[in-house]
Amino acid sequence: MFELLFLTLYSLLLVHSSKGLCYEDQVTCVRTMRQVLVNTSYYWFGTSHNETCQGSSSMSCDNPEPIRLSLASRLFGLSDVHNKTELTALTRQVKLAFVTFNSPAGSIFACGHNFKIPEVANYIVDPLRTMAISSWSLQKVPQVAWDSPNNQTLYTVVIWDAGHYHLHGLYINCYQSSLISGTTIFNYSAPSNPYYISNPVVVLVIPQTVRLNQSSVAQAVEAITGRHQGRFVLSEFRDQFSQELSQRPSHINIITLEADPFSVQYYKDKFVVDNCALLISRLTPLHQVAKLSNLSMSWGDNSTESTDFNNTYLTSLALNLAVTYNTGDFRVEYCCTNYSITSGMFTANPFDESPVRSAVVRLRPRVTLSPMNMKDANRYRSRVYTLFMVDVAPAVEAGQSNARYFTHWLVTNIRNGDVSSGDELSEYFGPNPIIP
Ligand SMILES: *[C@@H]1O[C@H](CO)[C@@H](O)[C@H](O)[C@H]1NC(C)=O
Ligand SMILES: *[C@@H]1O[C@H](CO)[C@@H](O)[C@H](O)[C@H]1NC(C)=O
Ligand SMILES: *[C@@H]1O[C@H](CO)[C@@H](O)[C@H](O)[C@H]1NC(C)=O
Ligand SMILES: *[C@@H]1O[C@H](CO)[C@@H](O)[C@H](O)[C@H]1NC(C)=O
Ligand SMILES: *[C@@H]1O[C@H](CO)[C@@H](O)[C@H](O)[C@H]1NC(C)=O
Ligand SMILES: *[C@@H]1O[C@H](CO)[C@@H](O)[C@H](O)[C@H]1NC(C)=O
Ligand SMILES: *[C@@H]1O[C@H](CO)[C@@H](O)[C@H](O)[C@H]1NC(C)=O
Ligand SMILES: *[C@@H]1O[C@H](CO)[C@@H](O)[C@H](O)[C@H]1NC(C)=O
Ligand SMILES: *[C@@H]1O[C@H](CO)[C@@H](O)[C@H](O)[C@H]1NC(C)=O
Ligand SMILES: *[C@@H]1O[C@H](CO)[C@@H](O)[C@H](O)[C@H]1NC(C)=O
């Protein structure tokens, strides 16, 4: 039995070495991870919180313990300022927990588009990098493995969103370096993040001094989440079991998450926030236009990694636009052939690069505006907007010295999010490949 376990760990290590920055040089990685744990400006809830959030009430800025700026102060319930020495000591000997995800290939419908998700085989979490796989692929319980000095020690494993304090899994009395060897107190649920503000989910392995009582741990978890509106305050849990749990965790990993199509759609379905516009803003054409037209736009941090798109996102966005064409019946005789299309609906899909027939977009579309923050519907209603539809292709095409744009539609003074209420300064003219 034990030999088998050893083989599993060994083969895991073999895969590690071929993947990810952290596994090429584990010594440096672990040293950097320890620095990250006590760094008070590494995450959104750190020293930059006020600047990043500027009083925003959005979910991404909802900070359960604003006085705790580092991961370590959140894990241990200590002060970043007054207990700095203790925090450093508590994290000094921590090692890396190996967290591995597996998932079949699939496809998801998000923001009006069908995204294909590739298979994930032994994806190993790197604590220093943003996850490079879709959050759809995180739905199966990950494997968590750690090197244990003996086969007597029992462990508690906690999977915990250290940004928003949500519990994503809790297992006690684990031996054999795996979750399934223990008892489940709180079932695993996949973490996700609809924002481009990196959020850490910590996987924590804590040695136990004794076997824990399942029902008393379950009661404690229920009591803590009950006291904090569903949030799990880890330091309270550790205080309650200070005799049964070791003072310091032996192994840690950090699952760092950012928005991706799956998480954006997940929160859209829950009517919390609709961040589809953020995803769209990463598409290359918008970046080309911004560059060529010298529009001053506020872009997010482009140093973060994303698998879906490689540009940064627009931080100023507050609305989603839905553009729907009702095509009507249409028939034309051209060069001795009758062309016709039957009426139907066409919704613009920025993620789809396949061409659209001009006939489909020849009539003025219905454009609906909706706030990204769904709890913030009134603020956008009180504002006045201008809608501008422009063909940038002539400007974007390489080698154009006299870059020019073609206006297809211009509506100003849009109130109440109702485009038809605005003043149409330039009448709608359908996009057409042969414009003058
Ligand atoms: C803490 O993190 C910030 C942001 O990543 C970084 O700029 C800074 O150098 C880090 N500080 C230390 C002491 O590592
Ligand atoms: C953020 O702002 C609040 C009030 O404006 C202030 O009390 C707090 O100290 C600030 N936090 C940081 C980390 O600057
Ligand atoms: C943390 O700092 C406070 C204030 O200085 C102190 O009272 C407390 O004992 C410290 N906690 C630990 C665990 O050192
Ligand atoms: C525990 O480890 C010892 C050696 O360290 C070994 O002899 C024993 O068989 C192991 N027990 C189990 C249950 O694996
Ligand atoms: C975890 O999920 C399984 C399967 O859905 C269920 O049978 C079990 O009761 C759950 N355990 C807890 C602690 O919620
Ligand atoms: C576990 O705790 C409950 C009360 O929370 C107690 O009734 C039960 O006897 C305990 N079980 C063991 C094995 O100690
Ligand atoms: C953008 O700025 C550059 C350099 O300042 C200038 O050469 C170019 O003509 C500008 N483009 C537009 C569309 O204004
Ligand atoms: C990130 O943005 C900065 C400033 O906007 C730019 O200079 C830099 O080239 C960008 N980096 C990448 C990788 O796009
Ligand atoms: C950007 O992403 C696409 C697809 O995700 C990829 O094919 C392309 O090579 C990437 N470009 C750069 C410069 O990384
Ligand atoms: C196109 O349709 C019209 C009206 O139905 C018909 O009169 C005409 O002959 C057709 N032309 C061709 C080339 O089929």
pLDDT tens digits, residue range 363-376? 899 998 989 988 77
Asked if pLDDT for residue 23 goes beyond 50, the answer is yes
Number of neighbours of residue 201 by Cβ within 10 angstroms: 26
Q: Which residue out of 334, 338, 339 has the highest number of ligand 10 atoms within 8 Å of its CB and is therefore the one to mutate? A: 338
Q: What's the confidence (pLDDT) of residue 302?
A: 59
Share of the chain above pLDDT 70, in %: 89
Instruction: Kindly give the distance from the C-alpha atom of residue 212 to the centroid of ligand 5, in angstroms, as a whole number.
Output: 19
Mean pLDDT of 114-142: 95
Instruction: Kindly give the distance from the C-alpha atom of residue 218 to the centroid of ligand 3, in angstroms, as a whole number.
Output: 29
Mean pLDDT of 250-262: 95
Asked if pLDDT for residue 404 goes beyond 90, the answer is no
Indicate if ligand 10 lies below 6 Å from the C-beta of 338: yes
14 — pLDDT class (breaks 50, 70, 90): very low
Mean pLDDT of 188-199: 93
Instruction: Kindly give the distance from the C-alpha atom of residue 409 to the centroid of ligand 5, in angstroms, as a whole number.
Output: 55
Mean pLDDT of 8-31: 58
- Looking up tokens 């940038």 gives 392
Asked if pLDDT for residue 387 goes beyond 80, the answer is yes
CA-nearest residue, atom 6 of ligand 5: 187
- Is residue 15 within 8 Å of 123, Cβ to Cβ? no
CA-CA distance, 139 to 169, in Å (whole number)? 12
Q: Which residue out of 32, 34, 39 has the highest number of ligand 1 atoms within 8 Å of its CB and is therefore the one to mutate? A: 39
Which residues approach ligand 4 with their CB closer than 6 A? 1-2, 151
Q: What's the confidence (pLDDT) of residue 397?
A: 67
Which residues approach ligand 5 with their CB closer than 6 A? 184-185, 187
CA-nearest residue, atom 13 of ligand 1: 39
Give the dihedral sign, CA 294/295/297/299: negative
Q: What's the confidence (pLDDT) of residue 399?
A: 57
Instruction: Kindly give the distance from the C-alpha atom of residue 153 to the centroid of ligand 3, in angstroms, as a whole number.
Output: 29
How is residue 76 written in tokens? 């241990």
Q: What's the confidence (pLDDT) of residue 402?
A: 61
152 — pLDDT class (breaks 50, 70, 90): confident
Our measurement of the distance from residue 367's CA atom to the centroid of its chain's CA atoms, rounded to an integer in Å, reads: 27
Q: What's the confidence (pLDDT) of residue 434?
A: 61
Q: What's the confidence (pLDDT) of residue 21?
A: 67
- Is residue 187 within 8 Å of 220, Cβ to Cβ? no
Q: What's the confidence (pLDDT) of residue 377?
A: 73
Q: What's the confidence (pLDDT) of residue 436?
A: 44
Mean pLDDT of 22-32: 88
Mean pLDDT (the chain, rounded): 86
Q: What's the confidence (pLDDT) of residue 374?
A: 82
Long-range contacts of 18-27 (CB under 8 A, 24+ apart): 19/124, 20/124, 20/126, 20/129, 21/126, 21/128, 21/129, 22/96, 22/126, 22/127, 22/128, 22/129, 23/124, 23/126, 26/96
Instruction: Kindly give the distance from the C-alpha atom of residue 376 to the centroid of ligand 9, in angstroms, as a whole number.
Output: 34
Indicate if ligand 6 lies below 6 Å from the C-beta of 216: yes
pLDDT tens, 331-360? 777 777 777 777 788 999 999 988 888 888
User: Beta 251-257 vs 345-347: how paired, if at all?
Assistant: unpaired
pLDDT tens, 62-104? 899 999 999 999 999 999 999 999 999 999 989 999 999 999 9
Instruction: Kindly give the distance from the C-alpha atom of residue 320 to the centroid of ligand 5, in angstroms, as a whole number.
Output: 38
Q: Which ligand is nearest to the CA of 404?
A: 7
Considering only residues 49 and 19, tell me which one the structure prediction assigns the higher pLDDT.
49
Asked if pLDDT for residue 386 goes beyond 90, the answer is yes
Instruction: Kindly give the distance from the C-alpha atom of residue 167 to the centroid of ligand 1, in angstroms, as a whole number.
Output: 27
CA-nearest residue, atom 4 of ligand 1: 42
Q: What's the confidence (pLDDT) of residue 11?
A: 30
Instruction: Kindly give the distance from the C-alpha atom of residue 148 to the centroid of ligand 5, in angstroms, as a whole number.
Output: 27
Considering only residues 149 and 313, tell me which one the structure prediction assigns the higher pLDDT.
313
Q: Which residue out of 38, 42, 303 has the highest number of ligand 1 atoms within 8 Å of its CB and is therefore the one to mutate? A: 42
